Amino acid sequence: MQRSNRSGEILVIGEIREGTLHSATVELTAKARELADRLGTKVTTLLMYDRVDMNVEDLAWWGADVVLCVVGEPFRYFNQEVYTNVISYLIKGRNPQIVLAPATTSGRTYMPAVAAKVHTGLTADCTGLDIDADTGLLLQTRPAIGGNIMATIQTPNHLPQMATVRPRTFPVPKPNRGRKARVEHPDLPGEVFTSSIEVLGKEHQEGMDVNIQDLDVVVSGGKGLKKAENFNLLRELASLLGGGVGASRAAVDNKWISYPHQVGLSGKVVSPKVYFAVGISGSVQHLAGMQTADFVVAINKDPEAPIFRVADIALCGDLFDIVPRIIEKIKEQRGKE
């Protein structure tokens, strides 16, 4: 389609988990509002769910003009085909200029399929978004070459312009409780809910109850921990700091901890306020998953470990000596409070 046929709106794909609005939905809606003001257009946030424990109109407080709600039993469990079908159908009907989605596990799964179905490109895992003052095109910034450079990408020839964005990339402004949004329930054909995948149920896997992408503190461990039992040391530290436990791919491959904890290109991308890298050497794949953290504390016995290059505090020594001492100091400080 030609640019003149586009509605100009920015469509944000929201996420609801267990009835709760994911923080990335508010974050992206607020960022979309900023971009839309530059373009003189509106923001529409799409929500797909079987239930929700909030007033969806409240998304107006962070910049949504329209909230599209697609509600039904097909969204009780995550089904990539259904999400892909619904989003693709709405994009073809609404012709937005820009589509944004969080680079969560779900967003990373369905957005490439959506891009293929609507015949456009997708810039994945962005850490920056802006509007080109001359062309009005979306400037999409993301780490490239293992995180060693930052690339800014434009997609002028295929629309809509689509990007997934790392959660916790942008600050969330204070809500403007005076704003209002229109809530719409679009009519969709039954075939968008059909799928070759049948979800029989859901089983709990260790680590699934805490999403490390949402936390302010992540304490990650690698091969230096030597065995699964030693992750209890990190769990204690993370608990004291109100955070969660992450891991390198090596630790997950050794089955010391489950995959939902994995940080890196093949795991989750995290951007906490504080990131502890304990016994992690710092491969480029791991660095790409955590280097946007505000503050990095690295603990490793190898003075040449690559992780020290991105660390704000580098502690070179035996982690089995250093971590217990950190825990002890925190407990002592808490005892004084």
Binding residues for FAD: 248-249, 262-266, 279-286, 300
Residue 161's SS3 state is strand
Cα 121 to Cα 32, 151, 172, 295: the distances in Å are 19, 15, 27, 33
Question: Angle 231-240/319-336 helices, nearest 10 degrees?
Answer: 30
Cα-Cα-Cα-Cα torsion 248, 253, 255, 260, nearest 10 degrees, comes to 60
State in Å, rounded, how far the first CA of the chain is from the last one: 63
Query: Annotated binding site, which residues?
Result: 248-249, 262-266, 279-286, 300
Helices (H), the chain: 23-39, 80-94, 105-117, 231-240, 249-253, 284-290, 319-336
CB contact burial 244-256 (16+ within 10 A = b; e otherwise): bbbbbbbbbebeb
Measure the CA–CA gap between 123 and 72, rounded to whole angstroms: 30
Report whether 144 contacts 151 (CB < 8 A).
yes
Backbone angles phi, psi at 195, to 5 degrees: -155, 150
Measure the CA–CA gap between 273 and 293, rounded to whole angstroms: 6
Counting every residue written for the chain, the total comes to 337
| Residue at token pair 């997609």 | 155
- The alpha carbon of residue 310 and the mean position of all alpha carbons in its chain are separated, in whole angstroms, by 21
